[in-house]
Structure 1
Amino acid sequence: MAETKPRRKLAAILAADVVGFSKMMGQNEDRTLNNLKSCRAITDESIENHHGRVFGSAGDSIIAEFASPVDAILSAVEFQKNLRDRNQELDFADQMQFRVGLNLGDVIVEGDNLYGDGVNVAARLEALADPGGICVSGKFHEEVRRKLDLGFVSKGSQEMKNIEEPVTTFMVELGSVSNVLESVSTSQGITVTNPPADPVDESDLKPETKVPAIAVLPFTNMGGDPEQEYFADGITEDIITNLSLWRTFPVISRNSSFSYRGKSQNLKQVALELGARYIVEGSVRKGGNRLRITAQLIDAQEDHHLWSEKWDRTLEDIFDVQDEV
C-alpha cells in the first residue's frame, strides 16, 4: 500500500506565552494559575472572535492558526490591549504580560495539529517580542501592512535556532491599537459596547488640568552611514512604542514625529506644532565596531533638559542596547 503524503496548507500562525511565568510559579503557584486562567479567557476569546483555532497549549503557551493573517494580527492586538487594560486594574503581583509571534507559512496537517517551519518560526518570533508586544515575520508583514492602519518597526534579519535562513522581522507599534480595532469593528458592522465617555471640549480645560503630551523625534544618524539609518529609526520607534504602553500621558504618533526627520528647527516651535510639552531627541554615531547613542528629555515649554544619558556599545550588542534605551 502506497504511503500517504502529508497534507499541507498555508496558514497564519500565532504563538504566545507569558513573560516570566516560571518565576511567577515559583513564587505562588495558586495565584499564578488563577491569573493565567483569567488571561487565557481573554486571549482565547479574541482568537475565537477572529476566526482562529487554538491547536497547541502547554503550560502558559498558546499556538493558534488562522486562515487570514489580518484576522491573526487583529486577534493579537486586541488581546494585548485587553491584557494591558486588565493589568492596569490589578496589583503588580497579579499582572501578566504576553509575548506574541506571528508568521505566515506552509505547515503540515496531522489530525488537529500543525507542524513545520511555519509553526517553528512563529515560536521563534514570539521569543523576540517585547513584553506585551508582537513580532511578525517579513512574509506576514507583507500581507497585512497595506490592509490595516498599524505601524511596524523593522528589526532586520534574525538568525533563528533550527531555521535554515535568516528571517526578516518587524515589531508592531501598539500605540494606535484602539483606533484600529474601532475602525475594523465599524467596517464590519460590529457595535462597540463600551459606553462612550462624556464629550469634553479640551479648549474648556484649564492648562494645568491637561495631561502633557510627549513627542519622540527621529534620532539623528551622526556617522553619515546610511546603513545606520534603520538603527536610528528603530531606536526612535521602540521608544514611541514603549512609551505608548504607559497610559499616563499621550504620546505623539510616529508619523507626526517623523515628519521632522532631517530638519533643524526650534524645539519650542516643534512642540507647539505637535501639541507636546516634552520632547525626546537623540543621536547615533558609529566608529568602527563601536556605537555611541545619546538621548535627552527636554521640557520644551521651559526650555530645560530634564534628563540625558549616553551609551557606548559594540555592534554585537546592537539589539541589547536598543532594548536598554
Structure 2
Amino acid sequence: MTELYVRLFGGFGVYRSAGPSIVFPTRKARALLAFLARHPGQPQGREGLATMFWPDSAESEARRNLRQALKLARRALADQGDAIIVSQGDALVLESSAVEVDVDLFERLHEAGTPEARERAAALYRGDFLEGVNLADGPFADWSMIERMRLHERALDIFSGLLADRLEVGRTESAIDMALRLLELDPLQEHVHRRLIRLYLERGRRGSALEQYHVCRAALERELGSRPEPETEQLYQEIRRCRGELPASAPGRSAQPAASPSPPAEAPLLARPAVAVLPFAHLGGDPSQTYFADGLSEDIITALAGWRCFPLIASSSTFCYRERGNGLHGIAAELGTRYLVDGSVRRSGTKLRISAHLVEVETARYLWAERFDLDLHDILAVQAEAAEKIVAAVAPELQQAELRRILTKRTEDWNAWDYFLRGWSLLNHFTAEDNARARSDFEQALRLDPTYSDAFMGLASGHLRDLFHIETAASREEALARGVAAAREAVSLDPNSSSAHHVLGTAYTWVEDYDAAIAETELAIELNPSNAFARMALGNRLDLIGQTAEGIAQMLHALRLNPRDPRRFNFMRFLARAHIAVGEYETALRWARKAVQLRPDQPDLHFRLAICLAHLDRTEEARTALHRSERLRPGFLESRQNWQPYTDAARNEHFFAGLRRHGLFG
C-alpha cells in the first residue's frame, strides 16, 4: 500500500497519502531520501551513499554521518519498523510499494510513448528536477545536474509530442496551450514561436499573433542579442498586411524585412574555417562592468585557440566591432570568417547570466545557443568557468557544421581539412569498416598536406581503435606500432596540439607505459582545459593505476563540459568500471545502462553492464547482457577472457568476481 508521495519535479516534497508535507531536520536527510526516491526498489550501497554525500570525510566518519542522516530521515517519516527505507545487507532501498515518486512515474510514461501517457507525464512535470533546491554539494550536486538536464530534455520531447498529437486531431486551443508550455521550458525555440503565431492566425487572433512575435523577438534579443530568423520576420510582415498596416506585395514577389541585410557576394574563406569571437555585450546599466564581458570574450578566444583546428581571428581585430554597425554578414566578410561566436552578459547582484551563440554566417543559422546562470562568488573564477563551458560546446558544433558542409561538395573538390573531418566523423561510428574508411581519409589528407598534424593524430586514433576489432596478436602488434608512430609524428609536427598529446597518451596507455600516458594527457589538458575527451582520458588512466577517486572526479568534470556529445557513452563506460573498482555497484550500473541506451550496438557496453549486474547478484539479467554482447559480435566473450584492465591482479580479480561467482565467465 502506498504510504508516501515524493515530489522531485519543481522542488522537493514528501507527503503522506492524507496530510501535510513532511519536514526533514537536515539537508542531508532530505538529500538521502531524494536520492533513494530517484530509483525506488533499487538497493543503493552504503559505501557509495557515504562517498556521495561526504566525499571529503574519512570512510568511518562518512559512514557515521550516513547512519545519522538515515536515523533522522526514518524519524521524519515515522518509519519505526524500517518498512519504508529498508536495509538489505550493506545497502539501503526505498520500498517501491510504499512510495509513489513523480519522476519514476514520468519515466515510465515517457517510455510508454502513447498520447495518453504523454498527457499524464506532462501533468507531472511541474518544473525541473529538484529545481531551486540545494540539498547537498559535491557528487550529489553533479548527479542532480546530470539528471536535471536529462529530464528536461525528456520533458521537451514529451511536450513536443503532445503539440504534434493535438495538431493532428485538430485541437487548436489545446495545441496553443501546449506551445505556450513548451516556450516556458525553452523560450528560445523560435520554430515553436512561429507555430504558435500561425495557430493564433488560424483562430483569427491577429493581436495575439502580433504579441507573440514581439515576445519571440524580445526573448532572442534579451538572451542571445540577436534578431528573429528571416522566416519569422516574413510571418510578422504577413500579420501586418492582414491588419492593413502594410500594402500587399507585388505579384510574384514576397515581402522581405527591410532590416535583414543581404549576404555579400563573395567572402574570403580559408581552406579551414575561420572563427571570430565578437566582444560580448554588457546588458547592465553600469558601463564600468563592461570589463567582465570583454574579459570573457578574451578568455573564449584564448580557450578556442587551444583546439587549433580552426584559424582564429585575434581580439585586436574583432573588438573594433563592438557596435555591430556593419551587421554580422559585413563583419564576417571583412574578417574572412565562416563562423561567429557572439553573446551577452547580464549581472544582477551576485547572479550572472551569460548567453552565447554560434552563427554560421553564410546561412545566417544559429548552430548552437545556450544560457549559463552562475553565482558571482569569484569574478575571475566565474569568467574562466563560463569560457570553459562555452568553448567546450562551441568546438564540437563547429566540427559538425563543417562536416555537413563538406558532405555537400564533390569529393574531387575536397582539401586536406575536408578529408580529415570526414575521417574523424567515421571514427566515431566505432565499427571496423568505418575505421578502415577513416584511415583512408586521413591518408588522403596527408597526401595533400604531409605536414598536417591533425591528420597524423586521426591516423593514430584509427590504428588504436583497430585494437578493439583485431583478434590476432601479430596484427594487434602491427596496429599498435603504427598508432604509436603516427601519434609521435602528430606531436612532433605540432607540439602545442592538445589533441595530438591526448592521442599519444592513449598510445602509451595501450603499451602500458602509464607514467608517460598520464604525463601526456595532463599536458593535453594544460594546452586546452576545454578538451573534455582529454579530461575523461585522464580520469580513466588515473583509475587504471588505482587513483580512482581522483579519476572519477575528472570524468564527471568531462561530462559537465560535454553533457550532450553523442560520444559520451565512452565517458559512461569508463565511469561504470571505476565505480565497480570502489564497490559502488549501483552507481556503476546506472552509468552502464546509460551507455547502453546511447549505443546499444556496442558489445563491450553490454559486457560491462553484465559485470555490474553480476556484482549485484542479478544473475539472469547479467546472463542476458552477455548473450547480447556475443550476438552483436560472435567471439567477443572469448576475446575478453584474458582482459586485464588494471595494473594489479587483485583489482582485476575484483572486477570479474561477480561474473565468476555465478559461473558466467572465465
TM-score by length of 2: 0.18
Greater Rg over alpha carbons, structure? 2
Q: Which has the higher helix share?
A: 2
TM-score by length of 1: 0.32
Higher relative contact order (CA 8 A, sep 6+): 1
